[in-house]
Chains A and B, each alone.
Chain A
Amino acid sequence: MTDGVLNLSDLAYHWPGRSGFSLAVPRLEIAKGESILLLGESGSGKSTLLSLICGTILPDRGSITIAGTDITTLSGGARDRFRAEQIGVIFQQFNLLPFGTVSDNILLPLRFAPKRRKRAGDASAQAMALATALGLPKGVLGTKATSLSVGQQQRVAVARALIGQPPLIILDEPTSALDANSQAAFLDLLFAQTEAHQTSLLMVSHDSRLGKRFDRVIRIEDIAQIERTTL
């Protein structure tokens, strides 16, 4: 086994009771500090793969090793805790709790991850520093998350994923709700942060134009076998 941040081997999964969708990934490895763009059309099993990596679903067989721990051996609660400690997650959009402040949202994962909270040190100062580094306006921390623009909200989501420096960040089409200029700015800010902290990055998208900024670009059909039998 290498010292990769993420190692998948011999992974197989099928949705229980659903119309025969199954996914098999013989091998996927992400090294420390490596950034990977995973390309795939919608419905290609990207989301299932992300759910497996995040530990919200368990594979039928195979192992998922993140930062040295095989999460398939953990209990449900322990996997949730592990995700909080080791993985930052950014969605397409609607990343933030609308009723919470920006600061509430950035600090939220620390609530479920005591070690990560310790790593973060002075969490409020960290949140402030991240917000500044990501170009969010001053004094934004106390405002309601919904008062921000979509681009700003995505940057808050980045700050939330980065706080406490988890080794792996997973992004699910984070730029699809942004226009081209904002996309570029978003990726600039994201890479500036992940490179500074040697954070590994796994981003899924259907947009191959983003590829040139990543260390590696993988098509999902190259690493995974997907079977779909309509019943």
Chain B
Amino acid sequence: MIMRLAIASLFARALTVGMTILAIALSVALFLGVEKVRTGAKASFADTISGTDLIFGARSGSVQLLLYSVFRIGNATNNVTWDSYQDIATRSEVEWIVPISLGDSHRQFRVMGTSQAFFEHYKYRQGRSLEVADGVIIDDLFDTVIGADVAATLGYVVGDPIIVAHGLASFAQHKDQPFRVSGILEKTGTPVDRTVIVSMEAIEAIHVDWQGGAQVQGQATPAGTIRAMELKPKAITAALVGVKSPLQTFRLQRAINEYGQEPLLAILPGVALQELWGIVGIAETALLAVSAMVVVTALIGMMATIFSSLNERRREMAIFRAMGARPATILSMLVLEAMLMAALGALLGLALLYVGLTLAQPILDSAFGLWLPIDPPSLREVWVMLGVIAAGAIVSMVPALRAYRMSLADGMMVKT
């Protein structure tokens, strides 16, 4: 009966109560949304590379190496010579090795030179392999395989010609060496979607007539001649390595880091990711703290609403007291009321989150390559909601205690 009266009392103040619930709902939706983006971003980062034991490149920072080699964010400061690469590739610990050569672009997309092994060994999302949606994997010198986003954005189909530009966002286009789209990959939700993949040899072929970032005047070696040349890569940007036994990972890592011929750096992708979280973590925590503050603000708003309702409800409380309700009953009714509001707010917030997710999912995916799954509420989200209800109960103690004292002093007689 008390519960029913509490609900009836809330209904009687539908407008202010509704506003309060809406404020709580928006704050909860924001908080859960930030949480969702945070975990979604983390998951999509973590899903980008799987099954690779080591990544090595020229010596720089481990986060930097991870970012440019896997996420195509930022640039390599230096290259690794082909000789060093060969040296490491032939070591006994190495089961497979995939060279990566970056530095050219096509429109806004990066071009990556690599070997056939890439398609075999690059794994994402717990061991999934790349699949060709249309066409075939590179089988000619001037063949390219493009990611799903490249195809979708530029409207390419298998067989279309492609012109590769030297450097990033540069006007110097390798017009003389037209490439052809041979295959389009399935969508992966990783940076591969936004990459144009060519063979290592093709990268060399593009640069046959180039020296020091500019085309040598009047020199244009015909494609036929290039095909006949022995295109040995001079350098690579980085390489992905798989070891025969996990036990050898650290030995190989040390060997690469101590490689005498040139300064190299080998990283474990998982460890470097952790390091990256360490950096991003601060911003993440700040974002989470801000949205938590919004929740607190909404709850304080609720507290203010309850406070301002106390005076007009003095009569109501006196009736309860006259009927035999203890001051503690008055207190618990107000707390119950606050918890009801917080619970409704939390539930409405969750509903808003799902509506928001449904609307934002395709936009986030196409704009940022961030795929937020629409799952049933996780345990963590349930805890957040319970936390909001508990916090609602706690903040409502302030006005409830005041009501307690008021009803103790007033008794059943309200002097108005």
User: Residues of A with Cβ closer than 8 Å to B?
Assistant: 47, 50-51, 54, 56-57, 76-77, 80-81, 83-85, 89, 91, 94-100, 104, 107-109, 111-113, 160, 172
Contact = CB atoms under 8 A, between A and B. Distances in A.
A89 B5 contact: no
A56 B323 CA distance: 11
B328 interface: yes
20 contacts: A51-B413, A54-B411, A57-B411, A77-B328, A80-B321, A80-B324, A84-B325, A91-B318, A95-B319, A97-B5, A97-B316, A97-B319, A99-B9, A104-B1, A108-B320, A108-B323, A109-B324, A111-B323, A112-B323, A172-B413
9 smallest CB-CB distances across A and B, nearest first, come from A84-B324, A56-B411, A112-B324, A99-B12, A89-B322, A99-B8, A109-B323, A80-B326, A99-B9
Interface-centre pick from A56, A76, A81 (highest chain B CB count, 10 A):
A56
Nearest to B12: A99
Contact of B315 (A80, A84, A94, A108): A94
A74 to B, nearest CB: 12
A97 B330 CA distance: 14
B323 A89 contact: yes
A77 B326 CA distance: 6
Contacts of A107: 1
A54 B318 CA distance: 12
B1 to A, nearest CB: 5
A97 B413 CA distance: 15
A51 to B, nearest CB: 5
Contacts, number: 78
Interface string B106-126: 000000000000000000000
A83 B319 CA distance: 12
B11 interface: yes
B412 interface: yes
B319 A112 contact: no
Interface of B: 1-2, 4-5, 8-9, 11-12, 315-316, 318-329, 411-413, 415
Contacts of A57: 411
Contacts of A81: 324, 326
Contacts of B322: 54, 83, 89, 91
A119 B367 CA distance: 71
Nearest to A160: B323
Nearest to B416: A94
A214 B415 CA distance: 27
Contact of B324 (A47, A85, A99, A104): A85
Nearest to B316: A97
Contacts of B324: 80-81, 83-85, 109, 112-113
B413 A100 contact: no
A104 B319 contact: no
A104 B325 contact: no
Given A98-B12, A100-B8, A111-B1, A80 B325 contact: yes
A214 to B, nearest CB: 22
A160 B323 CA distance: 9
Contacts of A83: 322, 324
A219 B130 CA distance: 98
A51 B409 CA distance: 11
Contacts of A100: 5, 8
Nearest to B328: A77
B104 to A, nearest CB: 72
B8 A76 contact: no
A98 B316 CA distance: 8
